[in-house]
């Protein structure tokens, strides 16, 4: 088994070499196996494990999902939940390294390679699913832009900012839990109310306040190295960052509107109104 994995790693590194040479992605080959395995793992979780496990864990709620699209949404929320926990943990571990602190533009550490390989693997999976099971243009753009932007860190370039922007994923578990509570017939429950308050607080803190704060320094770093980087990369990074921040603001507005509508009758539901047994 170990020899098969070693041969697979060698094959994938060789496969990534032409792409790395063409775009100057120096560290991509070393981390390409992790990228591919991540995308494959999430694909297996999406199309095999989630469809098999969900009817066992939540038979009543899963049976109520409408058609293939409804079930697919359930599956991708489970994948997103797993990924958000993984990326949050890896990001936290990668925050403080002297090599990155001393050179925010071109510094490198192997932990950034692992983090971004997992991130790109997920975002590529997200983009492929968003195109194949099209529901919203925003998800297509999010997957595509993140795949491109985080791939550029393998030059190396701007690896310092990877864990800081990927900490946005701290809000994603609460977003997925909110969606799943809807499907578990706990809409408007005290559980969803509490989760919604936490969701808004974390989303606003990490994606809006911290996100815009780090974006300011991100743009200052781009300005400082503008003569050392191809203009196309600068444009991609600048436009991509603006779009992602715009999506965060738009999604925050939508979340506030949704939660206000959901709890406009009873903003703080009573705990006695919740019937946990109904969830399944």
Q: Mean pLDDT, consecutive 10-residue segments, the chain of 280 residues?
A: 85 96 96 98 97 95 92 95 97 93 95 98 96 86 92 95 96 94 90 92 97 96 93 90 93 86 56 42
Other CB atoms within a 10 A radius of the CB of residue 280 amount to: 12
- CA–CA dist 203, 272 (Å, integer): 28
Show Cβ contacts of residue 95 under 8 Å, excluding neighbours closer than 6 positions: 163, 164
Contact yes or no for 25/154 (Cβ under 8 A)? yes
Q: What is the pLDDT of residue 5?
A: 85
Q: What is the pLDDT of residue 264?
A: 65
Q: Going along 88-184, which residue ranges are E strands?
A: none
Instruction: Give kind and range of the element (H or E) at residue 176.
Output: helix 172-183
Contact yes or no for 149/133 (Cβ under 8 A)? no
- CA–CA dist 128, 8 (Å, integer): 23
- CA–CA dist 23, 1 (Å, integer): 33
For residue 240, what are its two tokens?
């991509």
- The burial class, CB within 10 Å (0-12 / 13-18 / 19+), for 187 is exposed
Q: What is the pLDDT of residue 35?
A: 98
Contact yes or no for 99/107 (Cβ under 8 A)? yes
Show Cβ contacts of residue 189 under 8 Å, excluding neighbours closer than 6 positions: 181, 269, 273, 274
Show Cβ contacts of residue 32 under 8 Å, excluding neighbours closer than 6 positions: 12, 13, 15, 16, 117
Q: Cis omega before residue 195 (within 30°)?
A: no
3-state helix, strand, coil in the chain (%, to 5): 80, 0, 20
Q: What is the pLDDT of residue 261?
A: 77
- CA–CA dist 76, 148 (Å, integer): 21
The domain segmentation of the chain, as residue ranges, is 2-279
Q: What is the pLDDT of residue 260?
A: 79
- Chain centre distance of CA 80: 7
Of the candidates 157, 164, 145, which has an alpha carbon nearest to the alpha carbon of residue 213? 164
- CA–CA dist 193, 240 (Å, integer): 33
Of the candidates 126, 218, 205, 204, which has an alpha carbon nearest to the alpha carbon of residue 163? 218
């Amino acid at each position: 088994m170990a020899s098969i994995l070693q041969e697979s790693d060698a094959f994938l590194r060789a496969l990534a070499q032409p792409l790395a040479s063409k775009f100057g992605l120096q560290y991509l080959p070393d981390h390409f196996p992790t990228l591919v395995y991540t995308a494959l793992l999430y694909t297996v979780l999406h199309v095999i494990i989630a469809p098999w496990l969900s009817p066992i864990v939540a038979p009543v709620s899963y049976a109520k999902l409408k058609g293939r699209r409804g079930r697919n949404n359930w599956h991708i929320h489970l994948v997103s939940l797993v990924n958000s926990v993984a990326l949050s943990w890896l990001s936290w571990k990668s925050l403080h390294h002297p090599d990155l602190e001393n050179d925010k533009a071109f510094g490198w550490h192997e932990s950034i390679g692992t983090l971004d390989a997992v991130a790109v693997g997920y975002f590529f999976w997200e983009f492929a699913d968003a195109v194949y099971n099209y529901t919203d243009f925003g998800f297509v753009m999010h997957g595509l832009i993140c795949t491109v932007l985080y791939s550029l860190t393998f030059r190396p370039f701007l690896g310092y900012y990877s864990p800081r922007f990927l900490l946005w994923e701290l809000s994603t578990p609460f977003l997925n839990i909110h969606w799943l509570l809807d499907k578990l017939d706990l809409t408007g429950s005290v559980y969803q109310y509490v989760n919604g308050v936490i969701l808004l607080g974390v989303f606003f803190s990490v994606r809006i306040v911290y996100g815009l704060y780090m974006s300011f320094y991100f743009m200052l770093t781009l300005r400082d190295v503008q003569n050392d980087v191809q203009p196309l990369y600068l444009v991609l990074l600048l436009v991509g960052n603006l779009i992602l921040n715009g999506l965060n603001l738009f999604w925050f507005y939508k979340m506030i509107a949704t939660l206000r509508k959901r709890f406009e009758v009873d903003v703080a539901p009573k705990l006695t109104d919740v019937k946990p047994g109904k969830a399944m």
